[in-house]
């Protein structure tokens, strides 16, 4: 990222923090936000709709939807104050619009990721006139600490070989997202906004066989 005309903020703003002053103090001018915070709500009680606990629903939405709202709102306030435009890239999930009922039945999580599509598209439409772009990356299954349950489950890994058939049928790695993120945050994407880009090894175009 050296030499790029944007800086990336990976912070979740709390309601008690004045976002503009906090961002300026820590980063100076802000040109881009890449929101990657989120996680599984299984430990709170997420699962199939009829099994989701009240805590599972509320905590999963707080983790995955509240966090993106607060960070995006903070960045937008700074962009508007600076008057120089800006780029927001959020990280969602293919599960927001391409479910996998057998292996990945966490419906509060899927709901939170689906809601991000609406947030991104409506924000992109509203702020385009200000030169502010808002886009969404939606990964398939990626090798991160959050996906350790799946990575150690052989039936799921067998499923992924046919669900994500690109490049030999493998689980994704964080580096698979890097080039897409770099493009969408950079001036090279100056005419791109409101887009939902799946980086999924073919998940959304493959049936998958369990």
pLDDT at 5 over 60: no
Of residues 34, 109, 126, 127, which has the active-site annotation? Answer: 109
Which range (10-14, 92-96, 101-105, 151-155) has the least confidence? 10-14
Look at the chain and report how many structural domains it folds into.
1
185 found inside a domain: yes
Is position 127 annotated as part of the catalytic site?
Answer: no
**19-73: pLDDT as tens digits:** 556 767 877 789 999 999 999 999 999 999 999 999 999 999 999 999 999 999 9
2 found inside a domain: no
1 found inside a domain: no
pLDDT at 7 over 50: no
3 found inside a domain: no
48 found inside a domain: yes
* pLDDT mean across residues, the chain: 89
Which range (24-33, 105-114, 165-174, 183-192) has the least confidence? 24-33
Tokens of 116: 């991000």
What pLDDT sits at residue 201?
97
CATH number, residue 201: 3.40.50.720
Nearest CA among 103, 61, 112 for reference residue 203: 103
What pLDDT sits at residue 3?
32
Cα 132 to the center of its chain, rounded Å: 18
Q: Quick check: 87 and 132 in contact, CB under 8 A?
A: yes
Strand ranges (DSSP E) for 24-130? 32-35, 86-91
pLDDT-derived band at 210 (thresholds 50, 70, 90) equals low
What pLDDT sits at residue 161?
96
**Percent of the chain residues past pLDDT 90, beyond the cut:** 81
pLDDT at 203 over 80: yes
- In this prediction, residues 163-169 reach a mean pLDDT of 96
pLDDT at 173 over 90: yes
**Percent of the chain residues past pLDDT 70, beyond the cut:** 89
CA distance 50 to 63: 20
Full residue range of the structural domain in which residue 170 is found: 8-205
């Amino acid at each position: 990222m050296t030499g790029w005309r944007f800086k990336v903020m990976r912070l979740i703003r709390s309601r008690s923090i004045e976002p503009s002053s906090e961002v300026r103090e820590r980063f100076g001018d802000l040109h881009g936000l890449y929101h990657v915070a989120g996680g599984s709500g299984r430990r709170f009680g997420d699962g199939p709709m009829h099994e989701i606990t009240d805590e599972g629903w509320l905590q999963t939405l707080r983790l995955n939807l509240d966090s993106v709202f607060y960070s995006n709102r903070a960045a937008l306030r700074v962009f508007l104050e600076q008057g120089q435009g800006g780029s927001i890239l959020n990280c969602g999930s293919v599960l927001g619009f391409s479910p996998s009922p057998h292996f990945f039945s966490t419906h509060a999580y899927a709901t939170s990721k689906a809601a991000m599509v609406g947030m991104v598209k409506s924000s992109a439409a509203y702020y385009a006139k200000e030169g502010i772009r808002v886009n969404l990356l939606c990964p398939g299954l990626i090798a991160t600490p959050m996906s350790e349950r799946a990575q150690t489950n052989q039936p799921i890994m067998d499923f992924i070989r046919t669900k994500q058939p690109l490049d030999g049928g493998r689980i994704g790695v964080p580096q698979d997202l890097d080039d897409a993120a770099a493009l969408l945050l950079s001036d090279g994407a100056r005419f791109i906004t409101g887009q939902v880009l799946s980086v999924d090894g073919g998940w959304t175009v493959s049936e998958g066989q369990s």
